[in-house]
Structure 1
């Protein structure tokens, strides 16, 4: 969880650690699996299905999330009706080379699919290691650059969030946007996702303003942001920063500089409800951001807490989702239940935080709610969808 810090300056200092933790490691997409690899091994749906869970158990910086991921996977196992999964846990140590070795070991020992690893570089290495075996990898990473071939990412993506927000904003009559992002890897990923989503939803990108990843860089960018909005007539501003980075500073300084939230639609890629102090900032009022399905999320967290005596890590639901998807497919009794075609079926799956589906390009789409801030409180403007059409699960 993000700590509640007393000032935007303190929040900014936390950003580097958060960005690294979320696995936004730049990788060479060409090193993921070969095109067409990972069609999937044949399985016997009437026998236990060996599933390898790769987590960084011995990584001192990620041990907590590793145990939470394992707990969530076991919680999902207990929810499967009539499906037998033999879950085997392998420790990557948070190391890419070790992840590759463990992936090969897991497949040699019979694993039909790999769930994990957590970090992008490790997931990329694991995927390459088992590509020739036709085994698919459901990684917990949110790094789209590693997706493709036999590697699928379960982590929430900027593309998904940007598309949901701009689709909604377009329906509300918003037609143009200025993108604001820090000059770092996470900021570049966010900018690209917003640009793509804008083109797909008929929204004009009126300009892009970047800033040096520092307190002074953020402050100096604010006058440029206002100038760009004024000169282009853009009706919206899209912030890529999160609550541990430049977001609090921007939400404080931009309204003070005359960028009124009542005239310009603020929106952001990150959640604005954690920590709660963000909700009282001037720029947050009336802004758009997304949330996972609140009801599904609350139900998962309640079950997890009741079972393990503590709240789950924010990423724990990804392991639950992986097991839920595998279980739903095996329940159909098909020998190709773990093939690319099955994993990417369009109706999707029910997960810890609502509905989700895996895209053929290795990324994912999650059902998100559109939220805003009114009187310093979160208000849902548009609920998360309950399905993607079709039969679903």
Structure 2
């Protein structure tokens, strides 16, 4: 039971109807979004495609700001509309990758047609404020904006989660060592998050080779866990910290999905604890996504799936009229491909992560993601 390890978390029954994946499986393989002709047309001009014919209108905008993920966002959202729509949703996908479309104009047009739920890149924030004020908005990003929610979790979110688990298990004295620069905002979030979790953040070391860094690392003998921040930290920093017994073998590293899987076999990481999106939940739709679109499910596609799952959950609980900005602030949250999540007062996502332990180079489940808040 997780409660003893996460004292900052108090679970309650969810009052909002969640778009739970286990109860939303399709009886047949979903069809890919759009035809070959539509894909060909998209290369020459902006296009709009609609999935579903329900009365609750949801609009997804993709553009050139998401060059490597636009197709995944599109297909993840389309799969959710088919799996979770229950005949009540109509998802319109606006492909603006040619740059010819007017985002504000398209938003105004969609709002005039009855749309009250918008999904898209950070630039969508200003367009919704100008053309559809008061509508619900989910950004495919980690930084929120006024009136909307940002659905992507970042490294700081995951670090706070795994540190909270470690602190709850008795490892409260934690040091952070980073291989990249942390912004002031990231540093503040990390400090406040660990304080809320009951952890004692001894220091944040950005440059271990500097005089200040070396002085901080002299405290390694008294720490109970070490957070490694940055994609190359597991291979570059972890072995150095273990050298000569500076960091005892029984003191674990704490990590996130930022760590590449290729680093898991690093001997210095044996016993490390990672906060990751629950892989069991992801598998619930990965097979259907593979069948529908002929490629593996990406995290981008999962985030877009979840953005539509928010709309589906609201409509189930409150009807079409419930699609508004206030609906995003449900304390009980939503459930989707990435597990259970909700948006705080600022619109930043709070997501339940599973905790994994690295054993012989492979992550094994240590504590499953909680089923609610």
| Same-fold status (TM-score > 0.5) | yes
8 A contact 2:58–2:311 mirrored in 1:
no
Specify the SS of the correspondent of 1:88. strand
Residues 50 and 85 in structure 1, CA contact (< 8 A), matched pair in contact too: yes
Pick from 223, 240, 243: which aligns with 1:253?
240
Query: d(CA) in 2 for partners of 1:336 and 1:344?
Result: 16
1:203 aligned residue: 199
Residues 41-190 of structure 1 correspond to what in structure 2 (within 5 A)?
Answer: 48-56=55-63, 59=64, 62-80=66-84, 82-93=86-97, 99-117=103-121, 120=122, 122-130=123-131, 133-143=133-143, 147-182=144-179, 184=181, 188-190=184-186
Gaps in structure 2 of 5+ consecutive residues: 1-52
Aligned to 2:369: 384
Give me the whole-angstrom Cα distance separating, in 1, the residues matched to 2:372 and 2:187: 28
Cα distance, 1:288–1:48 mapped onto 2, change above 3 Å? same
- The alignment covers a number of residue pairs equal to 319
- Give me the whole-angstrom Cα distance separating, in 1, the residues matched to 2:298 and 2:106: 24
- 1:167 Cα shift? 1.7
Partners of 2:277 and 2:339 within 8 A in 1:
yes
The farther-off stretch of 317-326 and 231-240 is 231-240
CA RMSD of the aligned region, Å?
2.8
1:191–1:240 Cα contact (<8 Å) kept: no
Q: Is the contact made by 1:82 and 1:331 (CA closer than 8 Å) also made in structure 2?
A: no
Q: Which moved more, 1:278-287 or 1:302-311?
A: 278-287
- The one-character-per-residue Cα deviations of 1:190-216 (angstroms, maximum 9, x if unpaired) are 4333211111022222112113xxxxx
Deviation, structure 1 residue 47: 5.5
Would you say the 8 A contact 1:149–1:362 is kept in 2? yes
Please say if residues 238 and 269 of structure 2, whose CA atoms lie closer than 8 Å, have aligned partners that are also in contact: yes
Task: Please give the alpha-carbon distance, in whole angstroms, between the structure 1 residues aligned to 2:213 and 2:265.
Answer: 22
**1:222-265 residue CA offsets vs partner (Å, 9 max, x unmatched):** x86564143473322222212xx444211233223644352433
Alpha-carbon shift at residue 154 of structure 1 (Å): 0.5
Is 1:315 the counterpart of 2:319? The answer is no
TM-score w.r.t. length of structure 1: 0.72
Q: Which runs of 5+ in 1 are unaligned?
A: 1-45, 212-217, 389-393
For 1:289 and 1:361, the matched residues in 2 are separated by 26
